[in-house]
Structure 1
Amino acid sequence: MAAAVVATCALAAACSTNAPDAAKADTGGSTTSKTIVLVPKQTSDPFFTAAESGAKEAAGQLGYSINYVGPTTADAAGQVTTLESALQSHPAAITIAPNDPDAVAPVLKKAMEQGVVVSAFNADAAPDARQFFVSQASDEGIAEAIVDTMAEQTNGQGTFLLVTSTATAANQKTWLNLMKPYIAKKYPNMKIAQIIPGNDDPATVLQVTSSYLSAHKSDTTGVWVIGGGMSGAVRAMQQLGIDPKQMPVAGLCIPSDVREDMHAGLIKNCVLWSPADTAYADVYAIDAMIKGTYPESGNGTLDAGRLGTLQIKDNVVEVGDPITFTADNIDQYKF
């Protein structure tokens, strides 16, 4: 939601899995850099500050430093500017959670041509613009958990508003594409009436939810929020005189954003994963790529420190399963 220059051409085989030309290119970065540039969707989001802390934990164990830089709001143009600037310092690696995979692809390819290890986390980049993607959990598991947690509250039926993060985010598109057939098969009486971007921001989520419910209050069963800012949907309902206990809000959430509402019983459950673990695994994968121990085929395993052995399939590193937050466990998560 980390820039690395490949140290030597001995990494060519590992780099060639997704970007065959990158390993052959002249190295424009430093062969001695130990800096990993981590570019979040937005620096101010608690989710990504938690990712920063996980990346720094792994970096400390492996001898790297983390440069956490990016736009303050979910802005693709801001990420491009950040990446262009980061390349001037010749880092060892860049890892990014793209707001728009197409927008950042050219500069990521430029980084690989210069010998920088490039990865994506939380949201994928174009496959030919990174060497691997660190997936917080399986996309199928996330999509099904989003649906199931709402279905539990509505008896598997009803009409719903769905608020995404940004319209261009690859992970959002993937989850939606998995949610739709899963709903049709398992919950045929559930229907997504409209999909609206919320920009990972409670104020924006409040605005778009309020606007929609003002016109569709009587025929809306619940509201899914699958980007950040779920609390904004609760505020919108309260301003319109709707009881969130009667019109459930569910989906993906940031614990710090929903903690108060969850303890008040206004949100029953929501789903996410550990951003710290995702970024921690990312740094271990970057280290493996730099050292030439990342599997050349893009399939195999990764020794990921305290996370143990992780599976890699088609250059996707899978970290674990999604977490369902409830009032009973949400205080265990501090981001």
Structure 2
Amino acid sequence: MPHFRLHHGVMACALAGVMLATAGCGGTTRGSAEDSGSSSGPTTEADPNATIPEGLAISFLPKQLNNPYFTYANSGGEEAVAELGGEYKEVGPSDANASSQVSYINTLSQQGSDVIVTAANDPSAVCGALQQAREAGSAIVTYDSDTDPECRDAFVNQASAEGLALVQVEMIAEQIGGEGEIAFLSATPNATNQNTWLELMEEELATPEYEGIEVVDTVYGNDDDQKSFQEMQGLMQTHPDLAGVVSPTTVGLAAAARYLSTSEYKGDVKLTGLGTPNQMREYVKDGTVEEFALWDPKNLGYLAAYTGAALAAGQITGEEGQTFEAGRLGEYEIGAEGEIVLGPPTVFNADNIDDYDF
């Protein structure tokens, strides 16, 4: 069974971002609307009883392709699109630079995508392209990493930012005994979710409860395995008295664990953050890492796809308080600024890590 942990009364929830994209050919919702001279994008008034049409073109645009986290997350999106009788597509850049997603958004819009689901590499860089896609009739859903709220219709959040910050602070504090120097190994400097978590973690660590802990550095591995490995190595050279590292990115956490596992710091320097069981299993079993946390990425992608479909069908418009059904995950309610929360995070350790395969 999943081991769920609630922190300070905050349940971390996951939100997945979905963008609806439909090819401009016969049989798609958006194509039919264009034939009749009307738009099939999200309507101004929601009809909870509206039927989701078959043939919706739902496209996923992750931060980058060939990232194991997004490969697994998007498999949930593909599952949902199949259930909905839609057309699934995945496109994206090979790097996670701020503006690398713009050309893909433009192409999906030109192709007549009903729904575009994207994890933004930068909160503002993709906004112009997303707005143009919305004007052309695409429903825009962000997942994992949000844009500015006015640039999309809904945001599927993997977890509440406060909940994820708290779980990571509590894990590292417990592992280092409540005192010592720590550092952060993040993804890209402009990643919306990463920066939000870092800010909230620093705020929490500034409270009297954690007065014995000092944050001495924040470095960025750009969600690249080798660069993250090198940044972890650099942290230990710069801060030889480091007690622990928090890496709120799956790529960074695995790379940092790989460095520590063969270094003199193994077992002494504590490492935690957000990771996947398959990436971290060997490091938990060999004693490099005690525990880490994450939501189920597959469910994140799955929820994002259903969110996009509900938007395209007019069941929801992204307004706070609206509800919709998300297949096997059940009913969800939209929160403030169009945010939808997936559910509580899971904490993985030696006791339960073999119960998961992703």
| Cα distance, 1:283–1:296 mapped onto 2, change above 3 Å | closer
1:238 shift after superposition: 4.9
Q: Is the 8 A contact 1:33 1:90 kept in 2?
A: no
Task: Pick one of 118, 121, 146 that aligns with 2:168.
Answer: 146
Which residue of the partner structure matches residue 267 of structure 1? 289
Is 1:170 the counterpart of 2:170? The answer is no
Which residue of the partner structure matches residue 250 of structure 1? 272
Q: Is the 8 A contact 2:73 2:300 kept in 1?
A: yes
Which residue of the partner structure matches residue 20 of structure 1? none
Q: Which TM-score applies when normalising by structure 2?
A: 0.83
1:156 shift after superposition: 1.6
More helix, by proportion = 1
Unmatched tracts of structure 2, length 5 or more: 1-15, 23-29, 47-52
Q: Is the 8 A contact 2:115 2:309 kept in 1?
A: no
Higher relative contact order (CA 8 A, sep 6+): 2
Matches of 2:244 and 2:203, distance apart in 1: 19
Secondary structure at the counterpart of residue 53 of structure 1:
helix
Which residue of the partner structure matches residue 119 of structure 2? 97
Secondary structure at the counterpart of residue 80 of structure 2:
helix
1:32 shift after superposition: 8.8
Instruction: State the Cα deviation string for residues 153-205 of structure 1 (Å, max 9, x = none).
Output: 11122111101111101101111221122122231221211111111223111
Matches within 5 A, 1:1-335: 2-4=19-21, 9=39, 11-13=42-44, 34-185=56-207, 186-217=209-240, 219-229=241-251, 230-238=253-261, 240-243=263-266, 245-294=267-316, 297-314=319-336, 315-335=338-358
**Residue type of the alignment partner of 1:256:** N
Instruction: State the Cα deviation string for residues 36-81 of structure 1 (Å, max 9, x = none).
Output: 1100111111111111111111111111121111112323333112
Matches of 2:188 and 2:227, distance apart in 1: 11
Structure 1 runs, 4 residues or longer, greater than 6 Å off: none
- Computed over aligned residues only, the root mean square deviation of the Cα atoms, in angstroms, reads 2.1
Instruction: State the Cα deviation string for residues 215-254 of structure 1 (Å, max 9, x = none).
Output: 211x2111111112213213333565222x1110111112
Moved more, 231-240 or 199-208: 231-240
Which residue of the partner structure matches residue 24 of structure 1? none
Matches of 2:131 and 2:68, distance apart in 1: 29
Unmatched tracts of structure 1, length 5 or more: 16-30
Secondary structure at the counterpart of residue 59 of structure 2:
strand
Q: Is the 8 A contact 2:21 2:108 kept in 1?
A: no
Q: Is the 8 A contact 1:14 1:296 kept in 2?
A: no
Which residue of the partner structure matches residue 3 of structure 2? none
Q: Is the 8 A contact 2:123 2:192 kept in 1?
A: yes
